[in-house]
Amino acid sequence: MKNYLSLIKFSHTIFALPFALVGFFLATLESGSALSFRLFALVVLCMVFARSAAMAFNRYLDRDIDERNPRTATREIPAGIIRPQSALWFVFTSSALFIFTTWWINPLCFALSPVALAVILGYSFTKRFTALCHFVLGLGLSLAPIGAYLSVTGEFALLPLLYSAAVLLWVSGFDIIYALQDEDFDRSQLLHSAPATLGKNRALMLSNALHLFSGLFILTAAYMLSQQYPVFGWIHWLGAAVFIGLLIYQHTLVKPNDLSRVNLAFFTTNGIASLVFGTLVIADIYL
Taking phi over 0 as left and psi of -120 to 50 as alpha, with beta for the rest, 105 belongs to: alpha
- Phi, psi values for residue 79, rounded to 5°: -80, -5
> Confidence band (pLDDT; 50, 70, 90) for 94?
very high
- As a whole number of angstroms, the distance between CA 253 and CA 151 comes to 38
Q: Model confidence over 16-31: pLDDT tens digits? A: 899 999 999 999 988 8
What pLDDT, in 10s, does the model give residues 98-157?
999 999 999 999 999 999 999 999 999 999 999 999 999 999 999 999 999 999 999 999
Tell me the C-alpha to C-alpha distance, in Å, between residue 217 and each of 163, 223, 284: 7, 10, 18
Cβ(27)–Cβ(69) below 8 Å: no
Is pLDDT above 90 for 58? yes
Share of the chain above pLDDT 90, in %: 81
Predicted pLDDT at 262: 87
| CA 46/CA 55 separation, integer angstroms | 14
Cβ atoms within 10 Å of 210's Cβ, excluding its own: 24
Contact 116, 54 (CB under 8 A): no
Whole-number pLDDT of residue 10: 67
CB of 148 within 8 A of CB of 186?
A: no
Q: Which of 158, 254, 277 is nearest to 207 (CA)?
A: 254
> In 3-state terms, what secondary structure has residue 258?
strand
Instruction: Count Cβ neighbours within 10 Å for each residue of 84-95 and write b for 16 or more, e otherwise.
Output: eebbeebbeebb
Domain total in the chain: 1
Q: Enumerate residues 6+ apart whose C-beta is below 8 A from 265.
A: 174, 177, 250, 251, 253, 254
Residue-range definition of the domain harbouring residue 204:
2-286
DSSP state of 11: G
Q: What is the CATH number of the domain that holds 248?
A: 1.10.357.140
pLDDT in tens, 211-241: 999 999 999 999 998 888 776 778 999 999 9
Residue 65 CA neighbour count, 13 Å, CB half:
18
Q: What is the DSSP letter of 76?
A: T
Residue length of the chain? 287
